[in-house]
């Protein structure tokens, strides 16, 4: 997308129009304002009143949300929206457009109960309840990641969530509730950037392949999550989630872009290749996706929310904060069955 996002939104008088927010290119007044806001934040901030004034000027033009890219490849900070509100469809449409443009969105200072997190997530689709991780009592679809010395994170590796499902998640919404004094960042990487960085010959080969995704590859019976869930729950999860096959190159159902769609958590082998060939190709791809060029690193504050497009990204939770505690809650939104269609 050339580092630009075209976010449909209403003009100051309520007339529909397309707004280009592009801090790099700076074609429009909005773009220049967004660029200024980004520079201010990167430089440690201006006096809050000036930053608020700039944001207000940006809001009065863009109306629904302010989207400030963190870079040309992946990530944007969205402000001017309180996720607890009962949003008009137009606001949700703007957030969805920003998600498609930037792949992961960050919202700061959000005070959400688990029910409010669920309600916001439900605006984007039905929610998946994880078969192994614990859920919130009042909102069981909201998964709890409570990590500390006795329960370190098991997300400290690059992965895409729940690809063991026939219809893996379209996205997930993660809320930071308790943070360590320092550390505990999360990284997201663009799998369209990873795809585009492969040679045409490699892409042509990979386009023909499909791979096995398996819950038990990530969650082994003797693993921390499996044993915390209990034997019975684990066996049920395993029986209800047999291995599935997904294309190795995936067409994004909304943008039409191709993304690399294998991950080291759940992808166990590539179909049709010999065992050694599959291992070698997967090892290469798992290393390839880790290039810093494809990624953004997010430093959380309590109340921050991340919303990622799980169809074209991977993420990694940095495990550098023990013995401190870190608590996050996640809503996981169902998506479509992955497919590949050769781009025209």
Ligand X SMILES: O=C(O)CCC(=O)C(=O)O
Which of 118, 213, 315, 326 is catalytic? The answer is: 315
Q: Judged by CB under 6 A, which of 34, 172, 285, 305 binds ligand X?
A: 172
Residue 333, SS3 per DSSP: strand
193 is written with which tokens? Answer: 């950037």
128 is catalytic: no
CA-based nearest residue to 261, from 215, 313, 218, 315: 313
Residue 97 or 173: the one with the smaller Cβ distance to Fe ion is 173
130 is catalytic: no
Which of 22, 154, 161, 214 is catalytic? The answer is: 161
Site string for ligand X, 113-152 (x = CB under 6 A): --------------------------------x-------
Residue 117 or 186: the one with the smaller Cβ distance to ligand X is 186
Give the angle 10-12-14 at the CA atoms, nearest 5°. Answer: 50
Applying CB under 6 A, what is the total number of residues that bind ligand X?
11
246 is catalytic: no
178 is written with which tokens? Answer: 């308790």
Q: What does the DSSP assignment read for 197-247?
A: TS-HHHHHHHTT-EEEE-HHHHS-TTSHHHHHH-HHHHHHHHHHS--EEEE
Question: Considering the complex, what minimum distance in angstroms separates the CB of residue 123 from ligand X?
Answer: 19
102 is catalytic: no
CA-based nearest residue to 99, from 110, 107, 111: 107
Residue 161 or 257: the one with the smaller Cβ distance to Fe ion is 161
Backbone angles phi, psi at 150, to 5 degrees: -85, -10
Q: Is 328 in the site for ligand X (CB under 6 A)?
A: yes
Which of 118, 311, 326, 330 is catalytic? The answer is: 330
Q: Could you list the active site residues?
A: 159, 161, 315, 330
Name the site residues for ligand X (rule: CB under 6 A): 145, 153, 155, 161, 172, 174, 186, 315, 317, 328, 330
């Amino acid at each position: 997308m050339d580092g630009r996002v075209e976010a449909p939104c209403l003009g100051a008088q309520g007339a529909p129009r397309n707004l280009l927010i592009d801090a790099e290119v700076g074609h429009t007044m909005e773009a220049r304002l967004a660029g200024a806001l980004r520079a201010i934040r990167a430089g440690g901030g201006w006096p809050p009143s000036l930053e608020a004034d700039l944001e207000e000027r940006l809001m009065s033009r863009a109306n629904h949300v302010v989207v400030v890219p963190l870079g040309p490849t992946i990530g944007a900070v969205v402000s001017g929206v309180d996720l607890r509100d009962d949003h008009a469809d137009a606001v949700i449409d703007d957030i969805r457009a920003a998600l498609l443009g930037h792949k992961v969105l960050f919202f700061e200072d959000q005070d959400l109960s688990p029910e409010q997190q669920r309600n916001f997530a439900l605006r984007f689709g039905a929610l998946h309840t994880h078969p192994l991780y614990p859920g919130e009592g009042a909102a069981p679809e909201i998964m709890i990641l409570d990590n500390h010395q006795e329960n370190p994170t098991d997300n400290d590796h690059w992965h895409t969530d729940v690809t063991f499902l026939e219809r893996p998640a379209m996205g997930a919404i993660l809320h930071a509730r308790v943070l360590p004094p320092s550390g505990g960042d999360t990284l997201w990487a663009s799998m369209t950037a990873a795809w585009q960085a492969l040679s045409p010959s490699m892409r042509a080969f990979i386009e023909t392949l499909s791979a096995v995704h398996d819950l038990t590859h990530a969650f082994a019976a003797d693993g921390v999550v499996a044993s915390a869930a209990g034997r019975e729950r684990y066996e049920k999860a395993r029986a209800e989630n047999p291995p599935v096959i997904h294309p190795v190159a995936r067409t994004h159902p909304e943008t039409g872009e191709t993304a690399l769609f294998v991950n080291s958590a759940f992808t166990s082998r590539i179909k049709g290749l010999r065992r050694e060939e599959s291992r070698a190709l997967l090892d290469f791809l798992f290393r390839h996706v880790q290039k810093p060029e494809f990624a953004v690193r997010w430093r959380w504050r309590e109340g921050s929310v991340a919303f990622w497009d799980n169809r074209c990204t991977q993420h990694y939770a940095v495990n550098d904060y023990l013995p401190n505690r870190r608590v996050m809650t996640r809503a996981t939104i169902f998506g479509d069955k992955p497919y590949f269609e050769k781009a025209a």
